[in-house]
Chain A
Amino acid sequence: MNVVLDNAGDIALAFIYTLSLFVVAGVLSLIFGALLAAARVGPVAVLRKAAAVYVTLIRNTPLLIVIIFFRFAGPKIGLTFSFVDIRVADIRLNNLYAACAVGLVVYTSSFVCEALRSGINAVPLGQAEAARAIGLPFGGVMSQVIMPQAMRHALPPLASVQIALLKNTTVCGALGVFEAFARMRGLTNDFASARTEIFLAFALIFVVLVEVLSFVAYRLERRWRIV
């Protein structure tokens, strides 16, 4: 365990990058995914089609390819994110970080959109009809009847999408962000004899993070359950 403890500071820094990617991409993907879902179930046919095309294309492309696009192909058309350069203590968020984060957002939001859509589709038609029949206006139907039920249905898939996002942040490590995966690789190269314990340490931290997320999701689900 010595290698892991000796490098605890570096490992902590790496996981700060991982978590920051997760938070940034998580929040933005929820927002962008919600907009996509709104277009996907909205009344405007053009937007429905456009959102469907976006979701189909992105969902079937590997995350690595999406990030490679923003990382290596983007600069070719002048998309460099060079305006991003934030320093907070030891953490430096540069254009590579931004490109990877954008890739994660683009990829994850298509799954968020599908999770939300499946939630809305899970609401029985009779609910909306009954709400309209008692005279609720559109806003009332949405806010009082449909969205509360849709959100409950959408929560479990949304949680699993966000958990997958946490694990997917490691892909950024292969493309230049110095987060957990890149750090693990660096450490295992420097201390080849301690490879197994280094891997187990990183793996266990991920297991703990994933379990925490699933626990939070489970508690939310239980709190919001109706029956």
Chain B
Amino acid sequence: MATSVLFDAPGPKTVARHRVYSVVAYAGLLLVVAFIAWRLQETGQFAYDLWEPVLTPSIIEVILVDGLLNTLKMAFSAIILAVVFGLVFGVGKLSDHAWVRWPCWLVVEFFRAVPVLLLMVFIFYQFGGVTNGDRGAYWSVVAALTLYNGSVLAEVFRAGINAVPSGQAEAAYALGLRKSQVMTIVLLPQAVKIMLPSIISQCVVALKDTSLGYAIAAIGLSTVSRLVYIEYGNQLQVVAVVALLYIIVNLILTGIATWVQKKFVGEKNPIDLTRAGNMDGGQNTGGAV
């Protein structure tokens, strides 16, 4: 704890006191864990019958292939489209023309403030999602996530382009490049490097939000898990397994984001995403725990 802002290096008395705290904390945590284990035991949650479904190859296949794979596909499609959406509207918000800037601002503000779930259900019922079966539900989830994450990424793009030192654009103009050339040849290539970690952490948000496909029965981890636990009545076990899958995938993504940040950007990210509407608040890499 020598690096902490809060505490001085502890002396012998403090070390002894902290040792007492540690023992008490250990005991407290052990009690909590023991209580949970006792409840699980008492209600028969360790019974093999309840765990059997999540250990059966055919059901594991359903969870992994129908569930996880579809969830990843949804998140991947949504992020790809959201990057395009974000690029268009992020650059649009930086336009010199007010008639381009204001509509872009309006669209971004609107989709950032509307809950994804409302958007998803509206798209599902209004734009033919209902009549197209699984495919309709799939694309409704992707469309809703694209609009929301795209709006957040528009802010990321705007911040990223603004984070490129102003001398770069000035030098490019001095060389006689046009506005579009300055943007595509000089600003964007440099901005992408700064934005990459934020885009990857946005993948975590998108991946978590695909679970909302539950509301329109889009085939994904959350919907599949519901089918499994309704059939076997093992809510606790299925939820635990599904949560674990999400956590593993998200930790991998977070790890990649942290690595990219270290490699391309450095310790401190110049983009302040605090107000971009991202749940992660000020922490762009999410990881760096």
Chains A and B form a bound pair: yes
* Chain A 43-65 per-residue mask, 1 if CB under 8 angstroms from chain B, else 0: 11111001010011101111111
Query: Looking at chain A, what size class is its interface with the partner chain?
Result: 35 or more
Q: How far is the CA of A46 from the CA of B281 in the complex (A)?
A: 26
A55: chain B residues within 8 A (beta carbon): 289
Q: Name A's interface SS.
A: helix
Contact of B113 among A78, A111, A123, A207 (CB under 8 A): A207
Contact of B6 among A66, A128, A160, A180 (CB under 8 A): A128
**A65 and B114 in contact (CB under 8 A), knowing A160-B281, A174-B215?**
no
A59: chain B residues within 8 A (beta carbon): 286
Instruction: Tally the A-B contacts, defined by beta carbons under 8 Å.
Output: 187
**A43 and B239 in contact (CB under 8 A), knowing A121-B5, A202-B118?**
no
A215 within 8 Å of B (CB atoms): no
> Is the pair A46, B274 in contact by a Cβ cutoff of 8 Å?
no
Write the chain A residue with the least CB distance to B121.
A185
Q: How far is the CA of A45 from the CA of B22 in the complex (A)?
A: 7
A73 within 8 Å of B (CB atoms): yes
A50: chain B residues within 8 A (beta carbon): 25, 29
Query: Looking at chain B, what size class is its interface with the partner chain?
Result: 35 or more
Write the chain B residue with the least CB distance to A165.
B279
Which B residues have a C-beta under 8 Å from some C-beta of A? 1, 3-8, 10, 14, 18, 21-22, 25-26, 29, 39-40, 42-43, 45, 109-110, 112-119, 121-122, 125-126, 204, 208-212, 214-215, 222, 226, 229, 235-236, 239-240, 242-243, 246-247, 250-251, 254, 274-283, 286, 289
Which A residues have a C-beta under 8 Å from some C-beta of B? 41, 43-47, 50, 52, 55-57, 59-66, 68-69, 72-73, 76-79, 111, 114-115, 118, 120-121, 123-125, 127-128, 132, 138, 141-142, 146, 156-158, 160-161, 163-164, 167-168, 170-171, 173-174, 180-181, 184-185, 188, 192, 195-196, 199, 202-203, 206-207, 210-211, 214
